[in-house]
Amino acid sequence: MSERVRAMDWSTTPLGAIESWPQSFKSVVSLVLTNPFPMSLWWGEDCIQIYNDAYIRLAGREHPKPLGQPARVTWADSWHSVATRIAKVYSEGDALESEAEVLVVDSSKALVHSHFRFAYSPVRVEQNRIGGVLISAQESSDPAQVARIRLEADDALHIQTQTLRTLSRVNVMLSGELEMETLVHTVTEAGLALSGAQMGAFYYDYSLDADAESFVLFTLEGASREAFNHFPMPRHSRSTFDTCFDSARAVRMDDVTGDGRFGESSPFFGTPLGHLAMRSYLAAPVIARTGKVLGGLFFGHAEAGVFDERAEHLIVGMARQAATAMDNARLYQSAKRNEEKFRAVTESSTDVIAFCDVKTRFGYISPSVQSVLGFTPAEFAKKTLFEHLPEAMVHKVRNDLSRLFFQPDSVIELSFALAHQDGTPRHVALKATNLLERAGIEGILLNLRDVTEHKLFEEHLIEAKDNAEQMTRLKSSLLANMSHEIRTPLTSMLAWASVLAQEVPEEHLEAVQTIERSGRRLTETLNSVLALAQLEGRVIEIEPETVNLSDEAADTVRALGALAAERGLVLEFRSAHPEAFARLDRALFQRILNNLIGNAIKFTETGSVTVVIEADEAEVHVRIEDTGIGIDEAFMPDLFGEFKQESTGLARSHEGSGLGLAITKRLVEVLEGRLEVESQKGQGSVFTVAFARLSEEDFAVTGAWPAVEKIDALGDWESEVAMSSVLLVEDNEAIRQVVHRQLARLYEVEAFGDAESALERARDRTFDVVLLDISLPGMDGLQALSKLRETSEHATCPIIAITGHALPGDEESFLRAGFSGYLSKPFSPGDLEALVRARLKQRKVVVS
């Protein structure tokens, strides 16, 4: 019948495929099939039948049809009385025995009448529920035999009843027990009772959890633990234990002392001295769902041949049930540890950690919600997250979270205000993670962080930034006004001084030159202040190009030669590297040279100033050496500070703003160079500026060696200058007069003090060049420029801005607006004439 049961397609019956049967049910079926007495298991509400070989006689000629068939079909004629007994077993939960009944059975192909007594026993499953009824049959003939059979049947029935009760009890316990110690103890104790062993134990393989090399006695029944205290735990070696663990199958020995697998492991090579007597041996591995052996059930008896096939089947079934229960217990304990870790983390976190569903109903909220928002977790969970939000934020947050719900494992970050329990707003940053498809979580993980202080700090920063920007605007406005208001009178002062220098008698020339020098000094101071404002207030846009530092230094020395000669100094230039190239902004480098060489001349009373070009493979060095007054060591830390001079107060020996070196230092840094100084008081100074040198490979990238610019001759265009006309628009009468006087010698000049009058005149005639001030009464210079460009006569006419607006970026701004040139006040007569001539020259080229 065992083979027939295994071969049958049970998926067509209410019991389902045999692979899906619970282990507890399989154990009961195994018990029935291996029993020598007639037994039939009626399972479930339909009383589906499974019977053993001894029961075939009762099935009669219907065999094997009753297998898997409802009992009411097989026993239709007597079903009323049988159903009453079955119902009583289910309702009362106790075994029921019937009186002897006469059945017609098939005996040697002849029908005979036999007397049978039936016992109906409940079979319990999970939660102590009755899953089926076990029918045991006992046949009787003559009185003596009947008495003997009855006695044997009573004993067998008692054993079967006890076995079923034990299995039911263990099954109920295993279905709900999650404590490993209780679980293993119960299984071992039940195995001891079912197998008839004197001693039972469960050994756990601790190598699953650590780098252990031995099995550990987890529980022991039938003997005291002290009996094994002086023996080491069995190790992973060839032994009766490994036979079970390694093969992952049951081991049954009638006499362990005579088995070839016994006595081959050290250090005892047999039973240790003092060990409890044991000959019969039965072991079954406990195997997890993963196939890993968790441990084993081991049973022993002092007598040989105690354990039979029935006992082995029972213990194997028990081990399988134990494996499932242990898996569940291990998972439970792991989940419990993880939950404890989770709670330890969440409850110690200053952030609020919570889980919610798609409707933002909370399932868990960490205790930190009380310190953040003043609510206990229970109070806060009474409302959804949406209900806690300000009304203005609900729609946005709902939309953002809705997108999150459709993207597993996605994360979004939001920020908004939540009301504290006391009514004050608290700014929070929310990080939400979609864990809806994570088994065991199936929700949205929320992390709420209180960012109120950060938000306030951010607002203060924004306010401070706005204030700083406002101050910058005020500063820029102040500098612009100061530049315009100072440059305008300086322009007329220097221009008239230049005119007077050509006309006054010799005895008054020194006074005029003093006026010119003072004006230039004031201009230099103003330019230094504005340059410093440029370096502090914005990022300087540089225009890098390939520059020959030797040529630039030589040009600067030539330009400053006259200044050195005025002071009676020798200005020398030496270069051993005529082709010392670097990638720099040419204008900024020229300013650095002017500042350093000019400073050396300024602070040298007698002797010389020498400019030396040196170079190695990596850098080009420009050294400015002087024999001047030198620098005190104590002043060195302040040398490059703003408005810093070594001589100050009433004892001040040299004039100046104290900005030159500060500006120079910053310009060198902008060009990614290095500025160094060596000096001793009274022994002169050496300033060295260094820049990265371009190699031949660099020229392959940046372009060819610099070419010499060639200017084609334009012919005798100067002869036509006298025919050129100039329109001058300047509201300052002094400047208007001096510019008119300077240019009237060369051109036909018409001057106006306002834009409206100039535009009216421009409608009557065409001018070759327009000089246009920016700050004019009524219509300003930019508006006038636009009006002039609208006329066909002056659409391409050179229009030059002459203005006191000389802050960083002003020139670029005016050129972008459409001016052809730019001249900042104050300007020299030479600068003015050169610019006008250049624009007339360009106009001549274009016209030609």
Token pair, residue 139, equals 């046949």
Q: Report pLDDT for 768.
A: 92
Q: In terms of C-beta distances under 8 Å and separation of at least 24 residues, what long-range contacts does 828-833 make, across chains too? A: 828/494, 828/495, 828/498, 829/495, 829/498, 829/499, 829/742, 832/739, 832/742, 832/743, 832/802, 833/742, 833/743, 833/746
- Burial of residue 26 (number of CB atoms within 10 Å: 0-12, 13-18, 19+): middle
Q: First vs last Cα of the chain: how many Å apart?
A: 121
> What does the alpha-carbon distance between residue 453 and residue 456 come to, in Å, rounded to a whole number?
5
Token pair, residue 577, equals 């590297």
DSSP 146-199: HHHHHHHHHHHHHHHHHHHHHHHHHHHHHHH---HHHHHHHHHHHHHHHHT-SE
Residues in the chain with pLDDT < 70? Answer: 99-115, 139-157, 205-215, 224-243, 245-247, 259-276, 472, 475-480, 482-485, 521, 524-541, 635, 638, 640-660, 696-723, 808, 844-848
> What does the alpha-carbon distance between residue 136 and residue 126 come to, in Å, rounded to a whole number?
23
- Bridge partners of residue 545, in order along the sequence: 584
| pLDDT tens profile 700-714 | 444 444 433 333 434
Residue listed under structure tokens 């609020």: 352
> What does the alpha-carbon distance between residue 711 and residue 724 come to, in Å, rounded to a whole number?
23
Q: At what angle do helices 586-602 and 549-559 cross, to 10 degrees?
A: 40
Torsion angle of C-alpha atoms 475, 479, 485, 486, degrees rounded to 10? 140
Q: Report pLDDT for 142.
A: 54
| pLDDT tens profile 37-85 | 888 999 988 899 999 988 887 877 788 888 988 988 888 877 878 888 8
The single-letter DSSP state of residue 360 is -
Q: Report pLDDT for 153.
A: 58
Element (H, E) at 477: helix 452-503
Element (H, E) at 314: helix 309-348
Residue pair 63/50 in contact (Cβ under 8 Å)? The answer is no
Torsion angle of C-alpha atoms 324, 329, 331, 334, degrees rounded to 10? -160
Phi, psi of 695 (to 5 degrees): -95, 175
> What does the alpha-carbon distance between residue 598 and residue 564 come to, in Å, rounded to a whole number?
9
Token pair, residue 765, equals 């005639």
Q: Strand runs (DSSP E) across 693-826, as ranges?
A: 725-729, 748-752, 769-772, 799-803, 821-824
> What does the alpha-carbon distance between residue 201 and residue 163 come to, in Å, rounded to a whole number?
19
Residue pair 308/265 in contact (Cβ under 8 Å)? The answer is no
Of 777, 825, 829, give the one whose Cα is nearest residue 801. Answer: 825
What is the number of other CB atoms lying within 10 angstroms of the CB of residue 159? 14
Q: One-letter amino acid identity for 406?
A: F
What is the number of other CB atoms lying within 10 angstroms of the CB of residue 269? 10
Q: Report pLDDT for 115.
A: 66
CATH code for the structural domain at 181-336: 3.30.450.40
Element (H, E) at 138: strand 130-140
The class level of CATH for 2-175 reads alpha beta
Q: Is the previous residue joined to 267 through a cis bond, with omega within 30 degrees of 0?
A: yes
Residue pair 512/520 in contact (Cβ under 8 Å)? The answer is no
> What does the alpha-carbon distance between residue 661 and residue 506 come to, in Å, rounded to a whole number?
38
Residue listed under structure tokens 């020194």: 510
Phi, psi of 52 (to 5 degrees): -100, -175
| pLDDT tens profile 453-497 | 888 888 888 888 888 778 767 766 666 676 666 777 777 777 777
Residues, the chain, total? 848
Phi, psi of 622 (to 5 degrees): -110, 115
CA atoms within 13 A on the CB side of 133: 28
The alpha-carbon radius of gyration of the chain (Å, integer) is 55
Q: Where in the chain is the domain with CATH 3.30.450.40?
A: 181-336
> What does the alpha-carbon distance between residue 401 and residue 448 come to, in Å, rounded to a whole number?
14
Q: Where in the chain is the domain with CATH 3.40.50.2300?
A: 717-847
Element (H, E) at 69: none
Token pair, residue 321, equals 């049930």
Q: Helix or strand or coil: residue 25? A: helix
Residue pair 60/106 in contact (Cβ under 8 Å)? The answer is yes
Q: Where in the chain is the domain with CATH 3.30.450.20?
A: 2-175, 349-450
> What does the alpha-carbon distance between residue 67 and residue 59 come to, in Å, rounded to a whole number?
9
> What does the alpha-carbon distance between residue 257 and residue 264 come to, in Å, rounded to a whole number?
11
Q: Where in the chain is the domain with CATH 3.30.565.10?
A: 539-702
The single-letter DSSP state of residue 359 is T
For residue 78, give Cα distances in angstroms to 63, 82, 103: 18, 6, 11
The single-letter DSSP state of residue 275 is P
DSSP 413-462: EEEEEEE-TTS-EEEEEEEEEEETTSTTT-EEEEEEEE-HHHHHHHHHHH
> What does the alpha-carbon distance between residue 570 and residue 564 come to, in Å, rounded to a whole number?
7
Token pair, residue 692, equals 């990265």
Q: For the chain, give percent helix, strand, coil, nearest 5.
A: 45, 20, 30
Q: Report pLDDT for 623.
A: 94
What topology does CATH give the domain 349-450?
Beta-Lactamase (3.30.450)
DSSP 330-351: HHHHHHHHHHHHHHHHHHH-SS
DSSP 558-592: HHTHHHHHHTT-EEEEEES-TT-EEEEEHHHHHHH
How are strands ordered across the β-sheet holding 411-419? Answer: 362-365, 352-356, 443-450, 425-435, 411-419
For residue 744, give Cα distances in angstroms to 583, 666, 728, 736, 848: 44, 43, 11, 12, 25
Q: Report pLDDT for 206.
A: 62
Q: Which distant-in-sequence residues (6+ apart) come within 8 Å of 846 by Cβ?
A: 796
CATH code for the structural domain at 539-702: 3.30.565.10
Q: In terms of C-beta distances under 8 Å and separation of at least 24 residues, what long-range contacts does 92-96 make, across chains too? A: 93/122, 93/130, 94/122, 95/119, 95/120, 95/121, 95/122, 95/161, 96/120
The class level of CATH for 717-847 reads alpha beta
Q: Helix or strand or coil: residue 790? A: coil
Q: Report pLDDT for 159.
A: 74
pTM: 0.38
Token pair, residue 719, equals 């002869």
The single-letter DSSP state of residue 664 is H
Q: Helix or strand or coil: residue 654? A: coil
